[in-house]
Chains A and B, each alone.
Chain A
Amino acid sequence: MTARRRIAALVVAGALVLLFVLGGLGWPAPPEDPADAQAIDTEPESLLGETVSITGTVTEVDPSRVAIEHRGGSVELVLVGDPADHIEPGQRVTASGTLIGERTLEVDRLDARNAWEYHYMYLISVVGVALAGVAAANRWRWSHRDRALVPRERSLLGGDHRG
């Protein structure tokens, strides 16, 4: 890697670290949805009547009660409204609605999933990463002479030699 490339890489890496920090600060706007769960836990009165989004695990039904984890711990919410009528304990729900009480959410939109569906998502994603990794290793190599990634003249798994 030439000195110029090394300096450029350092500058870009520095910019990326700055973005991590700015994102953590929520500047210029939060890169993620507002930390509703934490706000519900610590200052629910400030969110009364507001639309909030939550993700959590169903702990009880009748009434539907959901445990929501957040950075600082967890909080339980009671869900009311038609979309919350068909959830089951153990499911993971993502929902949004209006906070009508300090621990009560009137649900507008809700999606409930079983644990195995999350396991499927992670497993299939590992397969995706492995596929991309094999494709890259099959077609690219590190050249010590050039100190850079270069296309292989022949793929590891056979096939053409066009790089």
Chain B
Amino acid sequence: MADLLTHVLVAFVLATVLSWWLGSISPAMVAAAMVGAVLPDLNRLELVLPATTVEALLGLPWTWTVLHRLGGTLAVIVLVGLAVHRDQRTMVVGMLVLGAASHYLLDALLWQADGVVAPLGWPLIDWQPAFEGWYRSMDRWPAVVATVLVVAVAVADGNIIGRPSPSD
């Protein structure tokens, strides 16, 4: 993963820019995209509940890495979508997909020791092209670039937290 702040900021930028053309992308939907950008990193559950502990408890092989793969993320998106009111469900799922897709795109650009893209599409897409990599998760510059983009987009958008409506 690139650092999670970069993922969240990039999702904000993408969703906000899209909202300039698609009126259905409200600030709530921008927030949904930001949440979508976090979902693949739910694999950090490993830090709280190691897979080895789950394996010992259940007697089954287990890996949280699945949450950082396409199949696991899609399942989580559907679960979150089911918790949303039906009127907003389709749009929310779309924004979650946007956020998660931007996460995977940024992660596909990561430096990997073996020089190939991580198996992010598991188990649906078997695609691991050779790639030198542009950055690692502990590099500082991606968050700096993302922050600059957020400021630019927020200024262009009028408000970083929410656009005042005419009645406000």
Contacts and interface: CB of A to CB of B under 8 A. Distances in A.
B62 A21 contact: yes
Contacts of B123: 19, 22, 28-29, 31
Nearest to A51: B114
A124 B143 contact: yes
B38 A23 contact: no
Contacts of A157: 161-162
B7 A25 contact: no
Interface centre among A24, A31, A129, A148 (most CB of B within 10 A): A31
Interface residues of B, number: 67
Interface in A7-32: 8-9, 12-13, 15-16, 19-25, 28-32
A57 interface: no
A117 B65 CA distance: 22
Contact of A135 (B31, B78, B83, B114): B31
Interface string B2-27: 01111111001000000000000011
Nearest to A2: B86
Contact of A128 (B7, B31, B71, B82): B7
B113 A143 contact: no
A125 interface: yes
A143 B83 CA distance: 10
Interface string B69-91: 10110011011001111101000
A97 to B, nearest CB: 9
Given A124-B143, A148-B86, A113 B163 contact: no
Contacts of A110: 113
A149 B83 contact: yes
Interface residues of A, number: 65
Contacts of A60: none
B5 A19 contact: no
B61 A140 contact: no
B168 to A, nearest CB: 7
Given A16-B76, A132-B8, A155 B63 contact: no
A21 B66 CA distance: 9
A77 B74 CA distance: 38
A79 B35 CA distance: 41
B107 interface: no
List the 8 shortest-distance A-B pairs measured between CB atoms, nearest first.
A159-B162, A24-B61, A128-B4, A125-B4, A128-B5, A139-B28, A151-B28, A117-B138
14 contacts: A9-B83, A21-B62, A24-B61, A31-B63, A31-B66, A33-B118, A51-B114, A125-B5, A127-B4, A138-B31, A140-B28, A157-B162, A159-B168, A160-B164
Given A28-B123, A53-B113, A125-B3, 13 more contacts: A16-B79, A21-B62, A24-B55, A29-B122, A94-B113, A131-B8, A132-B8, A132-B38, A148-B84, A157-B161, A159-B168, A162-B27, A163-B27
